[in-house]
Amino acid sequence: MSSHVLRFTTAGNVDDGKSTLIGRLLVETEGAFVDQIEGARRENERRGGKGIDFSLLTDGLKAEREQGITIDVAYRYFATPKRKFIIADAPGHEQYTRNLVTSASNADLAVILVDARNGIMTQTRRHAFIAHLLGIRYFIIAINKMDLVDYLQERYEEIRKDFVDFINRLGGAESVCIPISALEGDFVTEPSTRMPWYTGPKLIEILESVNVDEQLDQGAFRFPIQLVSRPPASPELPDFRGYMGRVASGSIRVGDRVVVLPSGARTRVTGIVTRDGPLEEAFVRQSVTLTLADDLDISRGDLIASETQPPQARTEFRAILCWMSEKRLHLNHRYVLRHTTRSIRAIVNEIDYRLDVNTLERQSPVSELETNDIGQVRIKTLQPIVCDPYKVNRQTGGFIILDETNDTVAAGMIQP
């Protein structure tokens, strides 16, 4: 069964027509309102343009509209009768790799825009690579501006082959290609008569039907504890103790045996409490409160997991880091690592290599990572973190690093 909400990210070069595509999706699914569209038209005319510049609908900040660029990740919403869509729109500029990392972290699918005139550029590959690194396994390659190459099938096929090869090399990902013109509207939400050689689904149909859920759905049960619920004693609740959280993966039934980590204590689930009544079973993404058979010393940051498929508790591990700060990575410097609902002291004690995202080449030895660098490092933590490899579970395998100024300086993905 496919999810009712699809979170996807869009990536492409500066002039690949990303804003135009998003603008069109919003307008044609009525995710944008008449006054907003009218505002974008007036603003464009004031600057001497003609008609609607869809990008004016999506670029939110003054500096962006003035400079005609997108600075920050923007979130957009639209819905069809089949699904609700959340777009995390990442800017295409070279210096904003961190925005793509951010937007991809919560996305299940990436729409990669390619200008049919230019074909696959270095940046296009880099975007796909980063999206894949962040765990995206579904790619839609939208070969845009087909109107500017006379809707030629040869051109489309050439780019398609090139890109599918690249995605296949990344491993474990599915991809589908579609020729569109975001400006003219071919195959976005409307059919097109200008490319009779393309008989596949329209972009909106792909978005509506893709199934992205299986991994977390069928994974082992993971439940990071956010808070312990201990309401004041009352006649109805003389001694209630529950554990609040959101199921990160898998599912749990009343009566199931579980292990609480990092302590390793074993117990049984006695109840799944919600204000809408007790549940027999809770599934991935559900926010619930669990009660357990034994009185254990459990607090925020602990994790309740499947007894038969427990995660690992580790104090030393390798991770891929995306360095986001202007301040460089300092080896052996004390940072704070935020992972699930836990914050712990950590140091990075070695850099294995830095990745050249253009050539996918591993560079070593390296002594530092700076803004927008991606590399594999070794990390030591003061207390154990209870985790899975990122490839298996994005919720229990991803973490962020804060420095002493509370800035988020890096995003990390735990390696097996």
Partner 1 sequence: MTKDWTHLRELESESIYILREVVAQFRNPVLLYSIGKDSSVLVHLARKAFYPGPLPFPFLHVDTGYKFPEMLKFREEFTKEIGARLIVHRNEDAIAAGAHPLKLGVARCCGALKTAALLSALEKYQFDAAIGGARREEERSRAKERVFSLRDSFGQWDPRRQRPELWNLYSGAIHEGESMRVFPLSNWTERDIWDYIVQENIKVVPLYYAKERLVVNRNGMLIPADNTVHLKQGEVPEKMWVRFRTLGCMPCTGAVASEATTLEQIAAEMVSAKISERSTRIIDHGANTMEDKKREGYF
> 3-state SS string over 126-142?
HHHHHHHHCCCCEEEEE
Which of 153, 226 has the CB closer to partner 1? 226
For the segment 304-333, give every residue that binds partner 1 (CB under 8 A). Answer: 324
Q: Show contacts with partner 1 in window 41-70 (CB under 8 A).
A: 57-62
Tokens of 23: 């603008």
Q: Which amino acid is at 306?
A: S
Binding-site size for partner 1 (CB under 8 A) equals 74
CB 88, CB 75: distance < 8 Å: yes
CB-nearer residue toward partner 1: 195 or 329: 329
391 contacts partner 1 (rule: CB under 8 A): no
CA 288 – CA 111 distance, rounded (Å): 33
Binding partner 1 (rule: CB under 8 A), the pick from 148, 244, 293, 313 is: 244
The number of residues making up the chain comes to 416
**Which of these segments, 117-125, 352-360, 374-382, 403-411, binds partner 1 (CB under 8 A)?**
403-411
Q: Tokens representing 282?
A: 């809770």
Q: Are 381 and 345 in contact (CB under 8 A)?
A: yes
Please report, as residue ranges, which positions from 281 to 300 form the binding site for partner 1 (by CB under 8 A). 281, 283-287, 289, 300
Helix, strand, coil % over all residues of the chain, rounded to 5: 25, 35, 40
Single out the residue of 341, 372, 376, 381 in contact with partner 1 (rule: CB under 8 A).
Answer: 341
Q: What tokens were used for 346?
A: 């950590």
Task: Give the sign of the dihedral formed by CA 125, CA 127, CA 133, CA 137.
Answer: negative
User: For residues 188-207, which are near partner 1 according to CB under 8 A?
Assistant: none
The 83-89 sheet, strands edge to edge: 74-80, 83-89, 5-11, 109-115, 138-144, 174-179
Stretch that binds partner 1, among 156-164, 200-208, 378-386, 396-404 (CB under 8 A): 396-404
Which letter does DSSP use for residue 279 in this model? Answer: B
Q: At what angle do helices 97-105 and 122-133 cross, to 10 degrees?
A: 40
157 binds partner 1 (CB under 8 A): no
Nearest distance from C-beta of residue 27 to partner 1, angstroms: 11
Residue 394 within binding range of partner 1, rule CB under 8 A: yes
Residue type, 47: R
Q: Residue 191 or 255: which CB sits closer to partner 1? A: 255
Q: Is 77 in the site for partner 1 (CB under 8 A)?
A: yes
Q: Which of residues 84-123 bind partner 1 (CB under 8 A)?
A: 84, 86, 98-99, 101-102, 105-106
Residue in 314, 318, 328, 338 binding partner 1, rule: CB under 8 A: 338
Of 66, 154, 239, 276, the one binding partner 1 (CB under 8 A) is 276
Q: Does 150 bind partner 1 (CB under 8 A)?
A: no
